[in-house]
Amino acid sequence: MANSIVRRVGNLITNPAVLTGVGVAGLVSTSVLAFRAGHTIGKHTTIVNQDRMETDIPLMTVKDILISEWKEFIPVVVTGGVAITTIISAQKINSGRVAAIAGAYSLTETAFREYREKVVEQIGNTKEQKVRDEIAQDRVTANPPDANLIVFSDSSDTIMLDKLTGRYFTSNIEKVRRAQNDLNQEILNGMGYASQNDFYNLIGLPTIGMGDDLGWNVDALLDINFSAAIIPESGKPCVVIDYRFLPIKDYYKPYI
């Protein structure tokens, strides 16, 4: 029973949401206490100075006020200190969790890439491509495009699916390959990195919220795989874009 209570308390004090709530409540309490302390000190100082005006004793200075009324500030300082500490602690815990998630993502992506390379080694490129095509077909069948949203801008364009975001658009393999080459050229000859949104801009897809937080660099360039699928009902072909190296977080940090 005691261990359970201790564990629950431990979970609470390491929960960023709880710590942030405590911090916000502490800041509100600090403001209230500061107002009350200021009111009390002001009232007391006024009374003292009124008495001194009737004598030859000089009026209280700021230093005099601080020396005589310092105890009024103790609750303000303590509450404010607790509030600031809990907010900083919540931020540290969040930062640690984000780093852990990023590390786990990196390990998972590496393990998946190694697994895929071993699969290719064992069954060959042709059979591995067939497996990818079947997976792509399952993805398109489960979530076909809305025909009203597909607009062909060129006779050579076809329907394509970005597997990473699940978005359909019209283009062709040559245009996407050219965008890949342009992006990698920018990485190699430019700053050493490029974002996911940079790629979407090149292929004509709208950018996404996290697209600036993920990207590729010289250690893992953009490498696209294409798979073939058929759209149900219409029977139209669809090219599914997959990525050999998924975009990573903090892709730019080694180069700034």
Half-sphere exposure of 63 (CA within 13 A, CB side): 1
pLDDT-based confidence at 221, cuts 50/70/90?
very high
31 CB contacts (<8 Å, ≥6 apart)? Answer: none
Q: Residue 224's beta-bridge partner residues?
A: 243
CA distance 21 to 18: 5
Per-residue pLDDT, 212 = 92
Lowest model confidence (mean pLDDT) among 1-15, 81-95, 120-134, 200-214: 1-15
> What integer pLDDT is reported at residue 201 of this predicted model?
93
Q: What is the mean pLDDT of residues 62-69?
A: 64
> pLDDT category, 58, cuts 50, 70, 90?
low
Q: What residues contact 174, with CB distance under 8 A and at least 6 apart?
A: 156
Lowest mean pLDDT among 13-17, 22-26, 105-109, 114-118: 105-109
Confidence of residue 5 (pLDDT cuts 50, 70, 90): very low
Q: How confident is the model at residue 83 (pLDDT cuts 50, 70, 90)?
A: confident
Calculated CA dihedral for residues 208, 209, 212, 213, nearest 10 degrees: -130
23 and 84 in contact (C-beta within 8 Å)? yes
Reported as a single tens digit per residue, the pLDDT across 11-28 is 444 566 666 667 677 667
Boundaries of every domain in the chain: 2-98, 124-255
- Whole-model pTM: value is 0.53
Whether the per-residue pLDDT at 50 is higher than 80: the answer is no
The predicted pLDDT at position 44 comes to: 63
pLDDT of residue 62: 58
Confidence of residue 29 (pLDDT cuts 50, 70, 90): confident
